[in-house]
Chains A and B, each alone.
Chain A
Amino acid sequence: MKTLFTLAILWPVVLLAHIGSPNVFYEGSAGPYALRVIIQPPDVIPGLARITVRALASNVSKISVLPARWDTGTKGAPSPDPAKPVRGDANLFAAELWLMTGGAYSIIVNAEGASGTGTTVVPINSVATARRVMPRWFGGLLGAWGGALVLALISLIGAATRESVLSPGETPSRGRICRARATMVLGTGVIGLALWGGKVWWDAVDRDYRNNKLYRADRLYAEVRTNNSQAILELTRNVDRWGARPIIPEHGKLMHMFLVRQPDLEAFAHLHPVKTGEHSFESALPPVPAGKYRIYADITHESGFTQTLVSEVSLGADANATSFTPTDPDDSWRIGRINLLTTKSAHCQMGSR
């Protein structure tokens, strides 16, 4: 899950997603064509990504899509899949693509029309995020069916022992009937053992899924310290398997951090902490009012995989220091009610209130 709140629009490209919503919304150009692309990544991997492409002008006749993994690129991608036009809307196209492995993918969107061809690339994360439980009615149905099969199998074992070796018309002796019953008891034990083995196997697969495949963002720990009356926010990243690759800058910054006061949203800061250790960062805190703050820290790994790390910090009166030297010249903050989730909000000037 990731969240990107863009406040400064410098390029005609917007990528948006939200914490709690894994979908990717993209609006940009594929050559001469303006497109809006919405991607619903699968929530289990391997799984199907659902892609919707809207041509923002009526000049696109064909859309095709293909997935390219970060380490294989287009060389390791299959031939493009055509996106089918959606009935009733000439500018809307839909496709599905299998994402077979976890990691960073690019969905390459090709557009064709009267103005020629154009291509654009939409990055997405392919991770397992769903934790499903079998519905009761479904489990009951499978259990009933399976239970009937178990009973049937035990009966078959009895029938096989009791009668299958007799000549046609011969009746089973008392000894044979007893042997059949004993075999059924033994068979019940073997079947029980097999079912128990199946349950152990299922539990192991489920445990492996929960511990190793289900996506978990790196944990982020935040602390405040004071240095010569300047409040410094220290961040430490507890790296999980998804965060093992080194971080690379995004728009020139290794980390884009957003501080949002809770619950009134009356203070907001967009800071760019600097790296102080292998997994640690720090940033000078601007003079924001005391209170509880949510931290959203966006990082990008070498593979293109992005994460939004979440934490909380309580800022006391010390945070509102009289002297403030920003860590990064692009740091900005705002005090007062703000509108979030805006695609074209005003750029916050450093020092503005």
Chain B
Amino acid sequence: MPFVEAAIPTLSSTVLARPTAIAPWYFRLLVFGATCIPIGALWDISWHSTIGRDTFWTPAHIVTYMGGLIPGLVCGWLALKTHFFGSESERAAAVSFWGFRAPIGAWVTIWGAFTMLLSAPFDDWWHNTYGLDVEILSPPHSLLAAGMFFVATGVLLLMVSLQNRSPDTENHGRFLFIFTGGIMLLMAAVFLTEKSFPNQHRSAEFYRAAAITYPLYLAALARASKLRWPATIAAGVYTGVLLLLIWILPLFPAEPKLAPIYNPVDHMVPPAFPVLLVVPAIGIDLLMRFPGRRSGWLRDSALAVGLALVFLALFMPVQWWFSKFLLSPAADNWFFAGGEWMPYASKPGPWIHSYWPTAAKEHIVPFKQLLWIGLFAVISSRVGLAFGTWMSRVKR
């Protein structure tokens, strides 16, 4: 039966006294694999925006498959090694799952890899039934996204358990943990792509999506990490990887291979400029200095309100006015990639440099919507703190 707790091996005192926290060689491989996921996804979006036509074996798809395969295979090996060939200390530092023992992060990653595999035949049937989907969000793509999320979460848990087992005087796993957290922030941003173009940065819909998503990640990382600026570093990782893609992708010539072509691009279309998450992340890191890593139900609920207020107070005005610059001709260059994100199938027009919806007389967020955005930010922060508290204690 899957829910019966297996016997947990106890450790002898000499084993317990031995230090256990040094990053194994395959941890960097796991982080590399997790990094492949959003890079492959963003490259694939660029491919579909530029060339349109693809096959199962495009380079972008291969990078995404590597993102699932490498962590999946490494964690599968880790699970087999721990259960069948592990030392007493290795098996004791694992959790029990259906009678087998391995670190919790390994199980989560394996689950994510199998979910990514399941999404493939489902997605193929979906295309044959409803037509090739040209959106990011569809039920099979959401299943794939869930698989990717769990693959990366498993890697995150392996890194954080290494950090938590390390003495405070050593920093094993700290940077790997926060780097992986930044990669997961990037994955979340990819999922929000269709709601996050600069033209949408004066709409309630964009801020609602941002409030539901970003505080959760930033709060969780800020609570769980032992670094001084965890949310800021994670936001920096998100920004840095996205900027690299914005600058590198257009260097490659390409042309659309599908009709109708309304925008005849001649190079790979880059993603839109990243949202300035670094700014609210700094505020979150500063606020988190006060409670530190202490938690409690009431304390964290109050803290969640504070985190939500800090996030919105910094994020909204910064993004509100920065988007005006991004929509101006001054941003039409290789650095900011102004309107360069437009795919081949979009008709050029004044709408590219306007706020959406263009029919609205003025772009403001109504007060009632602002209240909802605030509520979502509080809930997101609270869930993030709960998750972060748990992660700060994970040792297996």
Contacts and interface: CB of A to CB of B under 8 A. Distances in A.
Interface of A: 42, 44-47, 66-69, 71-72, 75-79, 81, 98-101, 105, 128, 130, 132, 134, 138, 141-142, 145-146, 149, 151-156, 158-160, 162-172, 177, 181, 184, 198, 201-202, 205-206, 209, 213
Interface of B: 2-3, 5, 8-11, 15-16, 20, 52-53, 89, 92-93, 95-98, 104, 107-108, 111, 114-115, 118, 121-122, 125, 127-132, 134, 138-139, 142, 157, 161, 165, 255-262, 345, 390, 393-396
A198 B108 CA distance: 21
Nearest to A184: B3
Given A142-B122, A149-B111, A159-B107, A100 B260 contact: yes
Given A149-B114, A159-B96, A184-B3, A100 B138 contact: no
- Among B93, B108, B260, B395, the most chain A Cβ lie within 10 Å of the Cβ of B260
Given A44-B128, A100-B52, A168 B396 contact: yes
Given A78-B256, A169-B10, A138 B93 contact: no
A44 B131 contact: yes
B134 A46 contact: yes
B118 A163 contact: no
A202 B139 contact: yes
A168 B139 contact: no
22 contacts: A42-B131, A44-B127, A44-B128, A44-B130, A47-B131, A68-B259, A76-B262, A78-B255, A98-B258, A145-B114, A151-B2, A154-B3, A155-B3, A155-B97, A156-B104, A162-B95, A165-B394, A166-B395, A168-B16, A168-B89, A168-B396, A209-B130
Contacts of B390: 160, 164-165
A164 B118 CA distance: 27
A163 B396 contact: yes
A165 B375 CA distance: 30
Given A79-B257, A141-B121, A168-B15, 14 more contacts: A44-B129, A46-B131, A81-B257, A101-B260, A128-B131, A134-B125, A142-B121, A145-B118, A162-B95, A168-B89, A168-B165, A172-B5, A184-B3, A205-B130
A159 to B, nearest CB: 4
A99 B345 CA distance: 12
Contacts of B16: 167-169
A152 B118 CA distance: 14
Contact of A77 (B8, B10, B129, B259): B259
Given A100-B258, A164-B104, A156 B121 contact: no
B111 A46 contact: no
Contacts of A101: 260
A100 B111 contact: no
B118 A205 contact: no
Contact of A132 (B3, B95, B129, B394): B129
Nearest to B393: A165
